[in-house]
Amino acid sequence: ETGVTQSPTHLIKTRGQQVTLRCSSQSGHNTVSWYQQALGQGPQFIFQYYREEENGRGNFPPRFSGLQFPNYSSELNVNALELDDSALYLCASSLFNREYGYTFGSGTRLTVV
């Protein structure tokens, strides 16, 4: 059983650029959630995808968007990057509407300069 894999591991972007982060969910899971973890903080919920549609969104602006594909993998896109977007982005997969059984990936460390 494979876990959640995220790519790339690290990324450096310039302010104003766009970035795409990728996540492959654990086998058998149909739901993907994305979290942003700033340095020294707890993860903050960005959004969740189920059946290729957004199923809940946290307090993040529209320039944060996502996709889920038929194989349940997912992308997080961030447009017009700002310095404050520098963070660890964590992806978690699960079965729909289950509070347990979340599997987190190791994250993508994004640095915006």
> Residue 15 or residue 51: which is nearer to another protein going by CB?
51
Beta partners for residue 50, in sequence order: 31, 53
Backbone angles phi, psi at 84, to 5 degrees: -70, -5
User: Binding marks (x or -) toward another protein, 12..51, rule CB under 8 A?
Assistant: -------------------x-x-x----xxxxxx--x-x-
Cα–Cα distance, 28 to 93 (Å, whole number) = 9
* 72 lies in the site for another protein, by CB under 8 A: no
> Residue 7: in which H helix or E strand, if any?
strand 5-7
Contact between 110 and another protein by CB under 8 A: the answer reads no
Residue 7 binds another protein, judged by CB under 8 A: no
